[in-house]
Structure 1
């Protein structure tokens, strides 16, 4: 494992050799990282859309509510016959 001084010497040598091309190398590296992130995001989005179930459409005719026709005062629960006039 190189020590601190060895890393500094290596960095200086790299800077001398590639100093003029360093901005373009870093620019290309940044573009590569950006493209990689876009690819990861796209893949994650594809996975999410394939996992999520499709939305269920509501029925065209919603069920009607049932109304109670028994007399609330009648405690027996049986329907009384209607009075005929």
Structure 2
């Protein structure tokens, strides 16, 4: 879609942007766009390194015995019914019966 734009159309778009935002805001917008692009690029590199590290770690743990995996399995802890925000138990009439 963008490949079909010719020079007059591109100039018109630039003129409209210039009129909407003004000469004072355009450098700030370009600067913030550049910062956003750098942040996005660095985050993408970090995610790629992280996934590569997980792959190598998974390859190393896959060769362990299944008994070791059972011992390392996370335990689930069920919370008691209550008001999480105040840490007080919920009154019995407010609880619903699931029979």
TM-score scaled by length of structure 2: 0.45
Q: Deviation of residue 2 (structure 1)?
A: 6.2
Partner of 2:87: none
The answer to which structure has the higher helix fraction is 2
Partner of 2:38: 34
Match runs of 1:37-48 below 5 Å: 37-48=41-52
Q: CA deviation at 1:15?
A: 1.5
Number of residue equivalences: 54
Which residue, out of 17, 20, 25, partners 1:17? Answer: 20
Q: What CA deviation, in whole Å up to 9, does each residue of 1:39-73 have, x standing for no partner?
A: 1111111111111145xxxxxxxxxxxxxxxxxxx
Note the residue ranges of structure 1 that are not aligned, 5 or more in a row: 55-85
- TM-score of the pair, normalised by structure 1: 0.51
Q: Which runs of 5+ in 2 are unaligned?
A: 61-99
Q: Identify the structure with bigger relative contact order (alpha carbons < 8 Å, sequence gap 6+).
A: 1
